[in-house]
Amino acid sequence: MALPSFDQVKAGYRSSDAVLLDRHGEPVQQLRADTRAQRADWVPLAQVSPAFRQALLFSEDRRFYEHGGVDWSSVGAAAWANLWNTRTRGASTVTMQLAGLLDQDLATRGGRSVVAKVGQVSTAWQLERQWRKDQILEAYVNLVGFRGELVGIGAMSARLFQKYPSGLNAQEAAIAAALVRAPNAKPVAVANRACGILTAQGRAKECVFLSTYTAQVLASRPSERLDADRQIAPHLARRLLNLHAAPANSGASITVKSTLDARLQRFTRDTLRQHLAELSDRHVEDGSVIVIDNASGDVLAWVGSSGALSQAAEVDGVMALRQAGSTLKPFLYEMAVEQRWMTAASILHDSPVDLSTPGGLYIPQNYDRHFKGPVSVRTALAASLNVPAVRTLVMVTPERFSQRLKALGLPLKRNGDYYGYSLALGSAEVTLADLSNAYRALANGGAYSPLRMRTTDPSTAMKAVMDTGASFIVSDILADREARVPTFGLDNALAARYWVAAKTGTSKDMRDNWCIGFSKRYTVGVWVGNASGEPMWDVSGLTGAAPVWRTVMDELQRRARSLPAPPQAVPASVLQTAVSFDRQLEPPRQEWFLDGTQQSLIQLASLSGSARSLITAPADRTIIALDPDIPPRSQRLTLKAAPGVPAQWSWRLNDQRIGPARPMLWPMWPGRHHLALVNEQGKTMAEVKFEVRGAGVKPQAPSPRARSSSSSRSRALPAISAARSNSVRASSSLPSLASRSPRTLGSHW
């Protein structure tokens, strides 16, 4: 065989780990790729402890620097001992052993044949002629096996002593040298041999307690890698280091250069862990963060979990499917503005609403359980009001909205009708990576492209998914500090001194909370919750995810000060107009409009243009069942009109006037009914149909005067709810039955 050079051997050496590098070439994660053996990086001889070098040569080759590859005096001693059947040290020098490591056919362990010995001697002579002594020793300490799967001084030192090779002391060096001779020996035998090495070095006193220490060393397993500071991106590494691309025993080196920034990755990880530690008393243990460069789509930070704080640290929270909460609202309003169905100044009613669905009535509520009345689209989105969002989805339709979300890369597995109106409030499951990239599309004027995680990945052309002007308007709303006041107040984590747009979200029962937002240059997404799906205790997006988001965004802004700012351009399709509001619903302001939709005075829509929404109870197509345990005459149904309906209007039931259009309780009787609101001229302004089922008695003269304060009671329903049946409120004239109500069977008219 042709003898390789030292440089060839060193170049052909492979660590057993696959390595993920950051964009600057700094290692950020290593994962085991070769299952045959555990090898660390090549260790230069200058970084090996002098104590180990001395102990190794005392044990294996005391005349290493004196012979030319073969120690003939040791050969003679070994031959004499073999003649008299005496146990003694073998005659193989370090150079001869290295020859066996370089060519497995020359290895003598398991059989000391004459042919193998002759081959070793010949190769050792060649090594001594072509290599320097320091090169021979350096190659040997990196290629020799120590114990089990541990190969090389680097892996052995880290696993057994949790040290780098340069830090091994005399005791540790003696144990390591003893392992070279007998890698699988029992701890007692290793300790005895190590003591012999120490004694030969004049260190016999260090044999005290050596047996106990050796047993501990050989039994221990480190809890953390020595290079823990370079193990900061395990979740992305598992995604990018394709360990199945090559056979485990191929020896092929797997190194991938990612788009991560190591410094930012560490900062983001530490920020998340610190904040979650502060929330530990609120039953919060998991979180994840992603940072994206807006222009390129490069992922600059990918923190998949909270690490040791989590009971499921291996779960990648960046790619886990979780309910989106209110974070989908910006895309809903963008679609409505894009279609010119509304503007940022349009008025939406934040008031109770019952929507008929195949599963019954869907009754959305705001996060704070209160309603704000008529509000502009700007206020509705910035303050994250739920009912206006649901009203907007009624206009957009769930199916159209779901198609838009899919175009933005969100992994909706069902069509829009499956989610229904709850899609406006984030009932669909999304990943943090996809959701954050969708927000990046808003930052880029509606243009979408996939994320880029490797520096070798080609840049993908942007695809226009949303309208540039509508995206600009929605982004401006998300950056409006004053518009958030009705829900969040002025002082909150979203309020920064630089331009930044952000949205929080909280899913049902506080199982997930989010904060996603972008500056001119970066998009940051944060999820906080529990990987198990257990709810948190009184933690919202503003208190859970937002502080992490703000800290990371502040750091990005600090770093970006030295970089040229990207241009801030107002799309040609957008113009700004001074607006004022009828009845002073909101203060006058400068508002952005798509060209052709601008208005200077925003008025409430004429009531004559409204339809069923003017009747808030009962909901259209409701089916009500009389309770057989309550006397029929004692069961009444609330009739209620929307706020602002003139007092001169009246109720008409089955073409019969039953009283003025004020809240009233109607004594029910079975049958299909038609309820209408009529104006002073008798014109029908709104109408609904409903059905009452069950045995009952039609009253002779239904009284329009009966009223119930219970009709104004708020319904304590969650802010996000699946479509379901809900009891229609009615009141009984009997005090003992006042809390009883007929049952809603659904709305399948």
- 733: pLDDT confidence band, cut at 50, 70 and 90? very low
Q: State the pLDDT at residue 491.
A: 76
Q: Where are the beta strands (DSSP E) in 304-433?
A: 322-323, 347-350, 355-357, 360-362, 373-376, 429-430
What is the residue type of 739? S
Q: State the pLDDT at residue 312.
A: 87
Q: State the pLDDT at residue 739.
A: 31
- 91: pLDDT confidence band, cut at 50, 70 and 90? low
Q: State the pLDDT at residue 473.
A: 97
Q: Given CATH 3.40.710.10, say whether it is the number of domain 286-594.
A: yes
Q: State the pLDDT at residue 629.
A: 81
Q: CA-to-CA distance for 230 and 163, rounded, in angstroms?
A: 15
Q: State the pLDDT at residue 311.
A: 87
* Domain 37-219 and domain 286-594 have a common topology: no
Q: State the pLDDT at residue 222.
A: 63
Looking at per-residue pLDDT, the higher value among 355 and 176 belongs to 176
Which of these ranges, 260-269, 317-326, 630-639, has the smallest mean pLDDT? 630-639
Q: Is the pLDDT of residue 741 over 70?
A: no
Q: State the pLDDT at residue 367.
A: 63
What DSSP element (H or E) covers 50? Answer: helix 50-60
Q: What are the Cα distances from residue 231, in Å, to 12, 27, 68, 237?
A: 24, 8, 43, 10
Q: Given CATH 1.10.3810.10, say whether it is the number of domain 37-219.
A: yes
Determine the angle formed by the axes of helices 210-219 and 187-200, rounding to 10 degrees.
130
What are phi and psi for residue 372, nearest 5 degrees?
-100, -5
What is the residue type of 650? S
User: Do the beta carbons of residue 33 and residue 17 sit within 8 Å?
Assistant: yes
Which of these ranges, 90-104, 505-519, 729-743, has the smallest mean pLDDT? 729-743
Q: Is the pLDDT of residue 155 over 60?
A: yes
Q: State the pLDDT at residue 729.
A: 34
Give the full edge-to-edge strand order of the sheet including 255-257: 27-32, 17-21, 255-257
- 705: pLDDT confidence band, cut at 50, 70 and 90? very low
Q: State the pLDDT at residue 109.
A: 45
Q: Is the pLDDT of residue 722 over 50?
A: no
Q: Is the pLDDT of residue 356 over 70?
A: no
Beta bridge partners of 622: 690
DSSP assignment letter at 566 = P
Q: State the pLDDT at residue 452.
A: 97
What is the residue type of 491? D
- 359: pLDDT confidence band, cut at 50, 70 and 90? low
Q: State the pLDDT at residue 192.
A: 95
- Give start and end residues of each alpha helix (H) in 430-467: 432-443
Task: Provide the 3-class DSSP secondary structure of residue 494.
Answer: coil
Q: State the pLDDT at residue 621.
A: 78
Domain boundaries, the chain: 37-219, 286-594, 608-746
**Closest C-alpha among 520, 530, 524, 531 to residue 547:** 524
Q: State the pLDDT at residue 226.
A: 67
What average pLDDT does the structure give for the chain?
83
What are phi and psi for residue 502, nearest 5 degrees?
-155, 155
Q: Give burial (CB, 10 Å; 0-12/13-18/19+) of 212.
A: exposed
At 23-57, the pLDDT tens digits run 999 999 988 888 788 898 899 999 999 999 999 99
- 74: pLDDT confidence band, cut at 50, 70 and 90? low
333: Cα within 13 Å, side-chain hemisphere: 35
- 250: pLDDT confidence band, cut at 50, 70 and 90? very low
What are phi and psi for residue 151, nearest 5 degrees?
-125, 125
At 497-522, the pLDDT tens digits run 899 999 999 888 889 999 999 999 99
Mean pLDDT in residue range 408-433: 93
End-to-end CA distance of the chain: 89
What DSSP element (H or E) covers 292? Answer: strand 286-293
**Closest C-alpha among 163, 170, 165 to residue 206:** 170
